Amino acid sequence: MSYWTIFGVAGAAVLGAALVFGPDWDLPPADTEQVGYRGTGMFVSRDHEKQVALREANQVPEAPWEADPEGDRAGEIYENVQVLGHLSDDQFNQFMAAITEWISPEEGCTYCHSEDGNFAWDGMYTKVVSRRMIQMTQAINEDWQAHVGNVGVTCYTCHKGNHIPQNVWWLDDDPEPAGGALGYRAGQNVVGEFVGRTSMPQNALADYLLNDMEIRVHSDTALPTGVNTATTKETESTWALMMHMSESLGANCLTCHNSRAFNSWDESPPQRVTAWHGIRMARDINNDYMVGLTPVFPENRLGPEGDVLKVGCATCHNGVQKPLYGVSMLQDYVDALAEKTDTGVPDFESFVPNETEVLAPARSSRLESFGQKETEVAAQ
């Protein structure tokens, strides 16, 4: 068989593959945005159809009504209002109506409250978690304006009508490695669920968004000097984090970095500083709010390794550079969510849920997609 015959057969195979798999590829048209000086290659290309779908999925709901800030305080009217007692009666009910639509539009109030009408009861884990999540949202809006700005966040920013935000992460040790020294793979060489489905270290998010491992491992010299002791593994973990951020925001490296000097802060776009604060905000949220809630959640609300579901960049961003495309919902709930209500950290270890209520909420589609591993854990 001649060279050209072989080449023709190979070409036909490639064409056939294109015809079979083509519909799954990202095809034109693409939206291209210049984010740096001309000639530097600093631009972002996005699939046009995906952008249209994201626009539809990130529509901001209107407030149920415009609340009256005057009148008696909710803490004076209702029992056991620990976080929102400073709101007026109308503000309190407006926020309760909104949070119901944001998190449990089908179940309504009974997702967090007893069906017998005892709204003061704290026996349902969903109510205990919701109270802590309101405090977390308040802390984000007050302490992390360097990242969220005046736009702020609400419960809807992450939940968008779901019990559990669709983009969360947990410790991913699946599949189990083979026994012995030959089975040690350092969390690599598998498809990592939360690292862009690559073979990078599969729990890299835990290194940076739960722990504070050094992210910048780039050397300033071509040859080793002994100053930078980072290895290829640390470098790959950093890549995994960057891919997570890129996919979470629907952006590329050049959104935060200069193409001619990735390591230079002075020559980087301002978004790099915003991202720096965002990494630390996610770490703060996970350590100060999410991890402490671990004893409260039932098994079907934990990851396969028994850890609490945690926050990443995608949790708020949901595929767009600015959550909800930068549209603020905070102005309608500013008294509820703009400032912290500091009541201290509850003793969650002593929480004893009502067994008949605790497993009532349906599992999120995100956990269901995890598959057999979750089923095995829930059965233990």
Q: What end-to-end distance do the CA atoms of the chain give, in Å? A: 61
- Which residues, in sequence order, are CB contacts of 205 under 8 Å at separation 6+? 169, 194, 195, 240, 241, 244, 310, 312
Alpha carbons 190 and 202: distance in angstroms, whole number: 8
Domains along the chain? 61-218+230-379 (1.10.468.10)
Q: What angle do CA 157, 160, 164 make, to 5 degrees?
A: 100
Q: From CA 278, how far away is CA 244, in angstroms rounded?
A: 13
Assess whether the previous peptide bond of 224 is cis (omega < 30° from 0): no
Per the CB < 8 A criterion, the answer to whether 86 and 75 are in contact is yes
Give the angle 92-97-101 at the CA atoms, nearest 5°.
145
For residue 115, give every residue at least 6 positions away whose Cβ sits within 8 Å of its Cβ, in sequence order, or none: none
- CA dist 380 and 14 (Å) reads 48
Q: What is the pLDDT along the chain (380 residues), one digit of tens a residue?
A: 554 454 455 555 544 554 444 445 556 778 888 887 787 788 888 888 888 899 998 999 999 999 999 999 999 999 999 999 999 999 999 999 999 999 999 999 999 999 888 999 999 999 999 999 999 999 999 999 999 999 999 999 999 999 999 999 999 988 877 766 666 787 888 888 899 888 899 999 999 999 999 998 888 888 888 888 888 888 999 999 999 999 999 999 999 998 888 888 998 999 999 999 999 999 999 999 999 999 999 999 999 999 999 999 999 999 999 999 999 999 999 999 999 987 788 888 888 766 444 443 333 333 343 334 334 434 44
Residue pair 131/119 in contact by the 8 Å Cβ criterion = no
Biggest CA–CA distance in the chain, Å, is 90
User: What is the model's pTM?
Assistant: 0.83
pLDDT in tens, 82-124: 999 999 999 999 999 999 999 999 999 999 999 888 999 999 9
